[in-house]
Amino acid sequence: MKTISIEVVRLPHMDGIALPQFETEQAAGADLRAAIHEPVTLAPGERKLIPTGFCMALPAGYEAQIRPRSGLALKHGITVLNSPGTIDADYRGEVGVLLINHGDTAFTFQRGDRFAQMVIAPVTQGIFDVTTELSETTRGSGGYGSTGTG
């Protein structure tokens, strides 16, 4: 498994909260924790930006993808609204995560709760070449639902 070094700055409201952590040896995502001073409740249908308490400098050529935690999604309907969220290598502000409650009941986060995960991934930028026609495929221009019933 490849590793890279990521510079991190702890903000004052992260005091006592763990940095992002990979909870198992083969984990792709590092858990993010809520850097909140008071409990934050998400009512059904409500969305809020949850702070993590840190800023980072990703190396050029990498991004951080912010994704939901599967247990919160399954058990409570809590997910990342713009999933996956992207943090670009040139962003230097605090990492925040936009959560939404798709569940039927309110859910409350406490200080330090794990609420999302962050995957570090390489980035490929495309060069867009204008042309007058594209190569033929079996699918062609068939869009949503064109390859089956689901």
User: Which residue ranges make up the annotated binding site for substrate?
Assistant: 69-71, 82, 86-88
Q: How far is CA 39 from CA 50, 100, 124, in A?
A: 11, 16, 39
| φ and ψ at residue 147, rounded to 5 degrees | -105, 10
Per the annotation, binding residues are 69-71, 82, 86-88
Longest pairwise C-alpha distance within the chain: 58
Distance (Å, rounded) from C-alpha 40 to C-alpha 24?
Answer: 27
Spell out where 4-139 has E strands: 7-10, 30-33, 40-42, 47-57, 62-67, 78-80, 85-88, 94-101, 107-109, 114-122
Q: Are 58 and 93 in contact (CB under 8 A)?
A: no
